[in-house]
Amino acid sequence: MAGSHRAPTRWTTARRGAALHTVAVAATLGTVGSAGVSHAAPPVDTICSEFDGDTLLAPCDISDDGTASASGAATASAAASDPYRGFVGIGSAGDALNDGALGSTNVGSSNIGSSNTGSYNTGFDNDGWGNTGSGNSGSGNAGFGNEGFGNTGSSNTGVGNTGWFNDGWANTGSANSGSLNTGTGNVGWANTGSANGGFANSGDNNLGWANTGSANGGFENTGGLNLGSSNSGWFNIGYGNTGWFNVGSSETGVGNVGSVELGYGSNDGGTSEDLPEIAKQQLAE
């Protein structure tokens, strides 16, 4: 109808031409700028399309008189977003990505789960240090079967472990390897328990000296059937033992073999005058 005015439409781009699209997008995204500065326009399927997968464009009003106004400025979404962190799931990988992820078999640090690789993981079979669980590799792990030092549990490898079958020193438990271990069957010195190997062990059947117990091997053991010298007990072998049937010298007891023993039946070649009065009476009988 003559003189009629059509309402603006968003889909008249075929008639209006690419010029209006260029003006609208350039004015919004800054494609027209100073020399030497260029800004690539976002890819669009049609003029004023609402969303093309990468860029959000608000509708444009195009009137019959050829003017165009961006009623909703065409704005691009953040193309380079930050790495997605804090992912919760299984199989997360990376330290930059998914730092602090929850799940299992994560790769990185501060993961929570099992079989994680990194440090400060929570679970078991983690690789790193400060892990919580069992079978961890590193230091300061909590659990058993850990590898490192300062681990808590059993069968740990390192120093200062807590548990048994640990490898290192200052471990707490039994059958530890190292020194200053606490438990039974430790290897090292200053261990506490029995059948320890080393020095200044406490218990019985220890190997070393200054052990406390019986059948210890070494020096200054306390107990019976000790091997070494200055042992306390009986059936000791060495020097300065206290007890009977000791083999050595300066022993106190009965039936010792050596010299300067106090007791009965000592095979030291001494005369009866060398024996105490009670020994003389026994020999006279």
- Looking at residue 260, its pLDDT comes to 59
Residues 6-52 have pLDDT tens digits of: 554 444 444 444 444 444 444 444 444 444 444 444 444 344 444 44
- Looking at residue 3, its pLDDT comes to 52
Q: Cα 34 from chain centroid?
A: 57
Could you tell me whether strands 75-76 and 237-239 are parallel, antiparallel, or unpaired per DSSP bridges? unpaired
Residues 249-271 have pLDDT tens digits of: 666 666 666 665 565 555 544 44
Is the confidence at residue 118, as pLDDT, over 70? yes
Question: Does the predicted model carry a pTM greater than 0.75?
Answer: no
Which residue in the block uniquely carries the two structure tokens 């031409």? 17
Cα(215)–Cα(175) distance, integer angstroms = 18
Domain ranges of the chain: 13-76
Cα(208)–Cα(201) distance, integer angstroms = 7
pLDDT band at 219 (very low <50, low <70, confident <90, very high): confident
Q: Cα 271 from chain centroid?
A: 68
- Looking at residue 266, its pLDDT comes to 53
Q: Considering the chain, what percentage of its residues have pLDDT values greater than 90?
A: 0
- Looking at residue 12, its pLDDT comes to 44
Residue type, 55: T
Residue type, 121: N
CB 10 within 8 A of CB 60: yes
